[in-house]
Structure 1
Amino acid sequence: MSNPLFKKINIFLKVNEQTIDSYFNANDPAPIYKRQLSQEFEEYIMNYAPSIKRYSTVTYKLNCVNESDKEYLDPLVHAIRRHFSLKKSIREAEFKKFKKRNWVLLTFSLIVVMFFQGVMPLIFNVEHRIHSAFSNALDVFSWVILWKPIEKLIFYWNPFLKEISIFDKLINAPIIIVGEKKEVAPMEQEYAA
Structure 2
Amino acid sequence: MSKFHSKSVNIFMTLDQQVIDGYFNKHDPAPIYKRQLSHQFEQYILETVAVAKRYDVVFYKFKCTAEADKQYAEPLMYAIHRHFSDKKAERLKDFSRFKQRNWILLAVGVAVTVLCQGFLPLLNEHQSLPSGLTNSLDIFAWVLLWHPIDELIFHWNPHLKDILLLDKLGTAESIIIEHEKKTAVGNNDPMRAVA
Considering the TM-score relative to the shorter chain, is it more than 0.5? yes
Equivalent position SS for 2:13: strand
Equivalent position SS for 2:150: helix
- 1:133 matched to which residue of 2? 132
The higher relative CO (CA closer than 8 Å, separation ≥ 6) is in 2
User: Which entry has the higher C-alpha Rg, 1 or 2?
Assistant: 1
- 1:21 matched to which residue of 2? 21
> 1:170 is matched by which residue type in structure 2?
L
Q: CA contact under 8 A between 2:15 and 2:72: conserved in structure 1?
A: yes
- 2:12 matched to which residue of 1? 12
Q: CA deviation at 1:2?
A: 9.0
Equivalent position SS for 1:139: helix
Equivalent position SS for 2:73: helix
Q: CA deviation at 1:135?
A: 3.3
- 2:113 matched to which residue of 1? 113
Equivalent position SS for 2:116: helix
> 1:176 is matched by which residue type in structure 2?
I
Equivalent residue pairs, number? 181
Q: CA contact under 8 A between 2:15 and 2:73: conserved in structure 1?
A: yes
- 2:66 matched to which residue of 1? 66
Normalization by structure 2: what TM-score? 0.85
1-structure distance, mates of 2:57, 2:116: 52
- 1:179 matched to which residue of 2? 178
Q: CA contact under 8 A between 2:9 and 2:59: conserved in structure 1?
A: yes
Q: CA deviation at 1:134?
A: 3.6
1-structure distance, mates of 2:105, 2:47: 35
**Structure 1: 5+ residue runs without aligned partners?**
184-193
Q: CA contact under 8 A between 2:4 and 2:55: conserved in structure 1?
A: no
Comparing 34-43 with 107-116, greater Cα deviation is found at 107-116
| 1:26-71: CA deviation from partner (whole Å, max 9, x where unpaired) | 0001111100001111111011232011011111111112221111
Q: Which runs of 4+ in 1 moved over 6 A?
A: 1-4
**Structure 2: 5+ residue runs without aligned partners?**
183-195
Alignment identity in percent?
A: 48
Task: For 1:147-166, list aligned pairs within 5 A.
Answer: 147-166=146-165
* 2:39 is the counterpart of 1:45: no
What do you get for the CA RMSD once the two structures are aligned?
2.1
Q: CA contact under 8 A between 2:102 and 2:152: conserved in structure 1?
A: yes
